[in-house]
Structure 1
């Protein structure tokens, strides 16, 4: 006999799946809307403006370009157009010699198209698009007089529409997504340092392990930050009125390497924090003070970079000064613990406080690297080199 509870369990599973699907759709509505609008507009332009009765490549090119990550779409649009042109050219020549629809024609077209694409250094989208375009012409719609330029124009229309649609949302504020990602990355790193300090305050090994798990996930944050820099650069390049802001983008781009180094330092610091939390000896209170000062420096550095991107130079300078002062305060406080007889994990944390402070100051300051290093070591109490 069937258990009545089975039906309730199935209903709960279905409801949970529907709820998750609705949540994913709420988060991912933009790509759905972009793809639908771009493919439809590309089809309309190709049929009514260009006059092509079967513009397969126009919506297809739009979908292929939008399928790429933001920041890579301009390059992909060019690759799609070149791939279509190369594939159509090869297919047209082979069909003229061997006729359409034969096995030898299909074999020859694929071989020559892929070989030609590989010979010119094409990879990925360009190679596949060339082969698919050529195969489509052989199997589905053999070219006739006048169709070769139509298909090339179709791909051009589709790629251009995809680029235009992808920029509509960010047209007024192309740097806004990058600014949000900068703030999110630095806020998460500052929160991580605060979590480590709290775990050490409480001698909380599970809390220290949780912080370490968060630290290991920070690499994904840095990757997203790099992706947003590429996307912002593409958006600014396509927006003629805002290309003057590319200089701001370059300043942040040059800081990403230091941010990456800082993330790695914090991960090592978190690992040492786990070891320190396992020891029976008490954790010095000044160490947690130093970590919280470093967290304040990280937060201020993020605000400095965000304000720089937004063109608020005076605000950026104030935050950079605050980051400088907090980072040196963290090093100074940690340096007071730099005495003989301390445990190895504690010494490691002091070293990572120093290294993180250096990377932060290099990321937001205009000083020479040697000057930054000298100031940090002076705060740590090390003799000048």
Structure 2
């Protein structure tokens, strides 16, 4: 079964790319654009400009079809700058150093050193590589060929960046929606599990593992928000992008949720009775957490009315306790993060 799945995986991926507007389709579109950019760059360099051996044109075109329009345009400037510096280094070394071996070593060392400047980004390595290629191919002493290499790179990079910006510029809305769905589901599940533990007055190590799951999904969500915001820069389709506010609101639930879990665990493990809420108070907290879980799962702010009523009941227990007079310390520790959870859900 595993072998069959492994063989059919590429076909399943391709079918999903055509059927569902998700990650697979975006990857397929980017692959097609990179291929088209490389072919167009090669045709322009060979048939229109008639440049000799213009291998850098399609190479640069492929690498400039980036995950966002902003990265493509920034990459164009970095790539051209890096190659330009590499050409200057090679030209200088070729003119003053007669030994190819010595010139090669000096250009590589100096190029990689200069390329480490963060302004070049990921293209910095091309300072040294460009100089190395020109020295090793014997082009460093021929100004025309040096200019051709720079022109090829600028041409290919420009074609790649323009195609990426004009033809279905990439957006990351599906990543945002998927992250929001996963995070909302796991937060709701943790709240439901916590509600059951609060009612039982028990502590369990399972919650620690679940909180690590939440933290991992929070990190994924923050990454999705960053990609979404960047994908809007200079993007012709930017206004159609999914809003990140609902996901950012879910991310903001992480600190009070972690505080709540700590309070629940501390109260359950404490051997001092005055730190443990009584049965009635625990039931109210459990109802509140289940109500908050329902809001997080459904995304419906209209369901917050029940949460507010339960918070008011907890406030009443804190200032005017029933026969469970000794429960106010444990209950108070849970009440504050629970209130913050409701407030942050309301902020959406």
8 Å CA contact 2:56–2:153 kept in 1: the answer is: yes
Deviates more, 1:59-68 or 1:102-111: 59-68
Cα pair distance change 1:277/1:147, threshold 3 Å:
farther
Measure the CA separation in 2 of the matches of 1:205 and 1:20. 42
Aligned pair partner of 1:353 in 326, 338, 342: 338
Measure the CA separation in 1 of the matches of 2:285 and 2:264. 11
When the two structures are aligned, how many residues end up with a matched partner?
Answer: 321
Q: Which residue of structure 2 aligns with residue 194 of structure 1?
A: 192
Aligned pair partner of 2:255 in 238, 257, 264: 264
Q: Which residue of structure 2 aligns with residue 132 of structure 1?
A: 129
8 Å CA contact 2:82–2:123 kept in 1: the answer is: yes
The C-alpha deviation readout for 1:222-248, integer Å capped at 9, x for no partner, is 3333333333334333432x34468x8
Structure number with bigger Rg: 2
SS of 1:142's partner is coil
Measure the CA separation in 2 of the matches of 1:107 and 1:164. 37
8 Å CA contact 1:70–1:227 kept in 2: the answer is: no
Q: Which residue of structure 2 aligns with residue 325 of structure 1?
A: 305
SS of 2:326's partner is coil
Question: Given the two structures, how large is their TM-score scaled by the length of structure 1?
Answer: 0.65
8 Å CA contact 2:94–2:135 kept in 1: the answer is: yes
Question: Given the two structures, how large is their TM-score scaled by the length of structure 2?
Answer: 0.71
Measure the CA separation in 2 of the matches of 1:353 and 1:72. 41
Cα pair distance change 1:32/1:291, threshold 3 Å:
closer
8 Å CA contact 2:79–2:157 kept in 1: the answer is: no
Deviates more, 1:42-51 or 1:286-295: 42-51
Cα pair distance change 1:353/1:108, threshold 3 Å:
same
Q: Does 1:293 align with 2:286?
A: no
Aligned pair partner of 1:48 in 20, 31, 43: 43
8 Å CA contact 1:287–1:333 kept in 2: the answer is: no
The C-alpha deviation readout for 1:253-307, integer Å capped at 9, x for no partner, is 9x83x6444212212322333444557976521111010122233345xx4xxxx
Measure the CA separation in 1 of the matches of 2:54 and 2:26. 22
Cα pair distance change 1:161/1:124, threshold 3 Å:
closer
Superposition map of 1:1-385 within 5 A? 16=2, 19=5, 26=13, 33=28, 36-51=31-46, 52-62=51-61, 64-65=63-64, 72=71, 74-99=73-98, 102-117=100-115, 121-122=118-119, 124-140=121-137, 142-143=139-140, 144-156=142-154, 157-158=156-157, 160-161=159-160, 164=163, 175-201=173-199, 205-206=203-204, 209-240=205-236, 242-244=237-239, 249=243, 252=245, 256=248, 259-278=250-269, 283=279, 284-299=282-297, 303=299, 319-320=300-301, 322=302, 325=305, 327-338=307-318, 339=321, 340-342=325-327, 346-362=331-347, 364=348
Segments of 5+ residues of structure 2 without an aligned counterpart are 17-22
Cα pair distance change 1:136/1:22, threshold 3 Å:
farther
8 Å CA contact 1:77–1:160 kept in 2: the answer is: no
Cα pair distance change 1:134/1:212, threshold 3 Å:
same
SS of 2:253's partner is helix
Cα pair distance change 1:181/1:121, threshold 3 Å:
closer
Instruction: Output the aligned Cα RMSD.
Output: 4.1
Deviates more, 1:139-148 or 1:63-72: 63-72
Deviation of the 1:128 alpha carbon: 1.9
Measure the CA separation in 2 of the matches of 1:329 and 1:169. 48
Deviation of the 1:179 alpha carbon: 3.4
Cα pair distance change 1:59/1:271, threshold 3 Å:
farther
Deviates more, 1:214-223 or 1:151-160: 151-160
Cα pair distance change 1:163/1:345, threshold 3 Å:
farther
The C-alpha deviation readout for 1:295-344, integer Å capped at 9, x for no partner, is 233345xx4xxxxxxxxxxxxxxx44x26535534533443443552275
Deviation of the 1:196 alpha carbon: 1.8
Q: Which residue of structure 2 aligns with residue 9 of structure 1?
A: none
